[in-house]
Structure 1
């Protein structure tokens, strides 16, 4: 029977030292990878960088050049780290969400490692937005319960509505989604792409309010246990099934997904401590959750 060690990696290419018995030999590895740097996936009505602009600059929500470079650096790191597991010529089976940036991330990653692969697209396993009525209801109910703590005051919402042209009505959940999508879009435009944005976007108070909202909402969206079970269960089962599959020759397993899915996976394993009250930091681009499987060479029963 294989003995398992869990390694979680959240800052890109973060090395974590694990002290193991010298009789244990690395048998296989499973990497749950977040996609690379991307364009915004939301465009507000008054945004001067409209859909036409983004279609001319790689596409809404798609990978950008910086993201592709980061993926290649990560792939080289994994190639060096797990060289002994990558020396077969067989096609590896890689699973991704159906989102273009996740698919491209997997393709670039495997190509950079000089590995051929067959790709399976599976949103139920790797996309938190996949249709699941139970998970959605559980999440919506929880967000409504926490909405008073999450939502800015009405004055700020009216201010944002005036600046963005977005319709903020009576539906609290819709308003929350609009604000978190806006916070992400402005962060990408302002901080990552360094675009020449309007003054209100760089206003310190606006930046602080939207940034804190985004972090807190991120934490709450992945908090309910039912959401974790329904959204992370299939991925965890697939990983475990592959670990126990003695007939498989594949030693390196890649899952290309999104930050929410990474966190859900670690939360269901009680292994994620980055969402503490004072440190609400989601995973970075191309961060990975890594499961290493070791074989005990001195004891056939372990």
Structure 2
């Protein structure tokens, strides 16, 4: 790609050559411009955000109630608001705060009148109610109406949250049947990779302790992950955990829970089916945006999903080592598409990770082998191995 020239070097040269008063004055101004560039970056770029053309935000839902209990659970009869698997009040606030945190960074892409428009943005959620409610809470913080255009007597406005039926969802809940994937997963469960076999042997005593303490058979990393989720939620709710969890939760259980989540994208094919589907969706939108053929010409895409959604995506991108193997509630990854200030004929892709709703300073993630900056063309080439052209064909048994 051909790089653009900048004014800073010319200014520096003029400043050095300034012999007369007028030229010296010009040189001083140019030196000031150069100094400002070094300290603050290109002023026309405003830290890289004036060049922003489109974003795609994918987050995990907020804190929720348990979906299941172990037989000896002392909190089985706790009155969970909303029932099992529901977004908690704490979770709703987390998502609202995440929206508020992201709003200042992306306000230039929001409608100038502050009102929702389907021509400007698209919000889609997993069919799980906790995900739908998370999307609603996020948008309440991300797109509050302006006072002079708000038709309601409260500082909130309705937005359209589209949902994907679970049996047709390939990108968020990812429950659409795929025989080829299911065959691969069953094979892995029957014949686990060596590191998991070693893990099972190493933690055999722990499994026995957990089984005795919970009253449930704990013999796989998946069993541990489900138990971890229940204990984490109960702790977040301020409930006292049983004595047997001391020195076990979370330290000893977290690595097992993380490995359980990674198992769903263990092979290149599994990464393509589970992570490549959403990468393909995001990439298609970015390419159309660059070409000027995105219809409607939206600037904001919001996806409300699950922890495994984020893990599958990050493993397909090969960036999981830069974030976390078990995303927190309200964790988010943002794809930014920028008009290039480095290349004449391409856009740039930036990835940011918010560890949770309290994260004010997101971590910029680097796509391996894409360079810095990462061009959309190079990013597209790197994603060819996981790009999904036809889900039905990919999922057929061979």
Normalised-by-shorter TM-score class: 0.7 to 0.9
Q: Residue deviations 1:80-135, cap 9 Å, x none?
A: 11111112541332111111211111011113323643222223210145533322
Match of 2:57 in 1: 31
Alpha-carbon distance in 1 for matches of 2:43, 2:273: 35
Q: Which has the higher strand share?
A: 1
Q: Is the 8 A contact 1:39 1:61 kept in 2?
A: yes
Q: Structure 1 residues 93, 208: CA separation in 2 closer, same or farther (over 3 Å shift)?
A: closer
- Give unpaired runs (5+ residues) of structure 1: 1-17
Of structures 1 and 2, the one scoring higher in RCO (CA 8 A, sep 6+) is 1
Q: Give the aligned partner of residue 11 of structure 1.
A: none
Are the aligned partners of 2:95 and 2:138 in contact in 1 as well (CA < 8 Å)?
yes
Name the counterpart of 2:183. 137
Q: How does 1:43-82 map to 2 (within 5 A)?
A: 43-50=69-76, 52-54=77-79, 56-82=80-106
Seen in structure 2, the aligned counterparts of structure 1 residues 213 and 269 have a Cα distance that, compared at 3 Å, is closer
- Which residues of structure 2 form unaligned runs of 5+? 1-39, 145-156, 347-398
Are the equivalent residues in 1 in contact too, given 2:262–2:311 (CA < 8 A)?
no
Q: Secondary structure at the match of 1:44?
A: coil
Q: How many angstroms apart in 2 are the aligned matches of 1:211 and 1:301?
A: 45
Alpha-carbon offset, residue 251 of structure 1: 1.2
Whether the 8 Å contact between 2:314 and 2:320 is mirrored in structure 1 is yes
Tell me by how many angstroms 1:204 deviates. 0.9
The 1:289–1:198 alpha-carbon spacing in structure 2 relative to 1, beyond 3 Å, is same
TM-score, normalised on structure 2? 0.60
Between the aligned partners of 1:298 and 1:229, the Cα distance in structure 2 is 31
Partner of 2:7: none
Shift in Å, 1:293: 1.4
| Cα separation, partners in 2 of 1:117 and 1:297, compared to 1, 3 Å | farther
Matched, 1:124 2:170: yes
Cα distance, 1:35–1:209 mapped onto 2, change above 3 Å: same
Number of matched pairs: 272
Secondary structure of the residue that 1:73 maps to in structure 2?
Answer: helix
Q: Is the 8 A contact 2:58 2:303 kept in 1?
A: yes
- 1: CA distance, partners of 2:342 / 2:269: 41
- 1:8-50, Cα deviation, whole Å (9 max, x unpaired): xxxxxxxxxx978947721111111111122222311221222
Specify whether residues 150 and 222 from structure 1 end up closer, same or farther in structure 2 by C-alpha distance, changes over 3 A only: farther
Taking the TM superposition and a 5 Å limit, the aligned residue runs for 1:102-181 are 102-112=131-141, 113-114=143-144, 116-122=158-164, 123-143=169-189, 144-146=192-194, 147-151=196-200, 153-167=203-217, 175-181=220-226
After superposition, the Cα gap between the structure-2 partners of 1:34 and 1:79, relative to the gap in structure 1 and judged at 3 Å, is: same
Are the aligned partners of 1:96 and 1:126 in contact in 2 as well (CA < 8 Å)?
yes
1:272 equivalent in alignment to 2:320: yes
Aligned pairs for 1:92-107 (under 5 A) are: 92-107=121-136
Range moving further from structure 2, 239-248 or 286-295: 239-248
- Higher Rg: 2
The residue number in structure 1 matching 2:304 is 256
Secondary structure of the equivalent of 2:312?
helix
Match among 241, 252, 255 for residue 212 of structure 1: 255
Q: Deviations over 1:163-211 (max 9, x none)?
A: 222245xxx6xx4322220122112223x2231222112x214654323
